[in-house]
Amino acid sequence: MKKILTIILCFMPLISVAKATEKQDYKCHVSTSSEDRVIFFNWTASEVDKKMARLTGRKMKDYQKNRKYFIREVNECLPLNATFSTSLGREIDNKTLR
């Protein structure tokens, strides 16, 4: 019994490290050169702030309209199941397809 408990306790830190590096889906409300949008990303939880800061000035492509646009400002980035704090963000999120 002691051996089983010892083995389980030895592997517990490895399980928690794996969860910290798991990727999660995020949605970001951004202001672009053409309009406000909600854009979806798949990031690790530890890198969200860094990735969010790098979005400003990034060139993206709208494949439906076949047009390029620049991200002027990142208003808010949240996990996929969360709701935006602004009414404009919630409105755009409701219209955006997943």
Place of tokens 């530890």: 46
Q: In the predicted model, what is the mean pLDDT of the chain? A: 86
Per residue in 85-96, pLDDT (tens digit) is 999 999 999 999
Q: What is the predicted pLDDT for the residue at 21? A: 76
Give dist(CA 46, CA 27) in Å, integer. Answer: 16
Amino acid identity of residue 28, one-letter, is: C
Per residue in 4-49, pLDDT (tens digit) is 545 555 555 555 555 557 999 999 999 999 899 999 999 999 999 9
